[in-house]
Chains A and B, each alone.
Chain A
Amino acid sequence: MKEKVEEIMTRAVITVNENDTLLDVATVLKEGKIAGVPVLNDTEDIVGVISEADILKVLTNFHWYTSVFTVHDLMHIFGEDIHDIQQDVEKASKMNVKDVMSKEPEIIVQDALIDDAAQIMHTTGYNRLPVVDSDGKLVGIVARADIIASIYEH
């Protein structure tokens, strides 16, 4: 019966670099059919996690955004200023991962118990945790789906 994180984690981890753009991340998430990835710096240290939720937050935080009008309404009201909205979206695509990611991510060691991973996800609300070895190097990633599989597929 599976007990440790290393028994259920995915080892072939997809990652991005902190200097990649949001457009790079959106592409990686789409192609990998995943919702989030660990972020590494140039020396391969884990510096954050970036997910769909982080990107969505950027899209909903634009200065022209209000809770009363939809974007469609605003574009009719502003008329000729539509290009500002388009520019913001284009700008978002070029934003750097390091400005959008969640820093100081929750990580877990590979010989920790599945219980511990589940506890962290329950407390923090995070859906995935990067897994590290005793030197702190990324060796895998564990997600909610993996934990549920270990409950029902033992």
Chain B
Amino acid sequence: MQSKTNVKVKELMITDVIAVKPGDTIPHAAKTFRTNSISGAPVIDDQRKVIGVISEADIMNLTAAIPFPDIDPLNPFPVFSMSSYMKKVKKIPDEINTLFEGYVKDVMSKNTVTISPDDSISDAARLMRKHDFNRLPVVDSEGKLVGILARGDIISVFAN
């Protein structure tokens, strides 16, 4: 019986990868995640080279970095939901509105942690654990996106 840990990335990766572009808007990325039931995606340039990854956490952390005006100055916590914020202020400042309509390139992690199709899934698992990533873009020798391997794909080997 072949050991399950001998499995290569190319045997488990999804080749039908959903990716976004740096110039896509954040709402577009959020909708893409929702529609496809994913929590993140690689960001690729016009040559299909991986230039970063954007995740739900990156989108949620948007609001944490910006000081919201007109909120009780004694409350240090950022506001995460537009609904709560809109209850507190009369008019949303333009810079807050554009925050939610910004571009993938401003929010993505510019990490270049990728893996090749011939690496083993234990290498992939080690990388995910080391960097606390949920997914690794799989690239060819030119750095072009050929697939994606997520934690769930590795775990599912043991569910068979």
A residues touching B (Cβ–Cβ < 8 Å)? Answer: 1-3, 22-23, 26-27, 29-30, 33, 35, 52-53, 55-57, 59-60, 65, 67, 70-72, 75, 82, 85-86, 89, 92-93, 113-115, 118-119, 121-122, 125, 127, 144-145, 147-152, 154
- Please give the distance in Å from A143's CB to the nearest CB on chain B: 8
With the chains together, A59 CA to B129 CA distance in Å? 10
User: Within 8 Å CB of B155, what residues of A?
Assistant: 26, 29-30, 52, 55-56
With the chains together, A33 CA to B122 CA distance in Å? 22
Q: If the complex has contacts A60-B125, A71-B5, are A144 and B57 also in contact, measured as CB distance less than 8 A?
A: yes
**Chain B stretch 9-33: residues in CB contact (< 8 A) with chain A:** 27, 30-31, 33
User: Within 8 Å CB of A75, what residues of B?
Assistant: 3, 6
User: Within 8 Å CB of A29, what residues of B?
Assistant: 152, 155-156, 159
User: Within 8 Å CB of A147, what residues of B?
Assistant: 60, 80-81
Q: Let me know if A26 and B158 touch, CB within 8 A.
A: yes
User: Within 8 Å CB of A52, what residues of B?
Assistant: 134, 151-152, 154-155
Interface size on B, residues (CB 8 A): 47
Q: Let me know if A60 and B81 touch, CB within 8 A.
A: no
| B30, B81, B100, B134 pick with most chain A CB within 10 angstroms | B81
- Please give the distance in Å from B156's CB to the nearest CB on chain A: 5
User: Within 8 Å CB of A122, what residues of B?
Assistant: 60-61, 64, 80
Cβ-defined partner of A26 (8 Å) among B1, B86, B156: B156
Q: Let me know if B60 and A121 touch, CB within 8 A.
A: yes
Q: Let me know if B34 and A148 touch, CB within 8 A.
A: yes
Q: Let me know if A119 and B80 touch, CB within 8 A.
A: yes
User: Within 8 Å CB of A118, what residues of B?
Assistant: 60, 63, 80-81
User: Within 8 Å CB of B123, what residues of A?
Assistant: 70-71
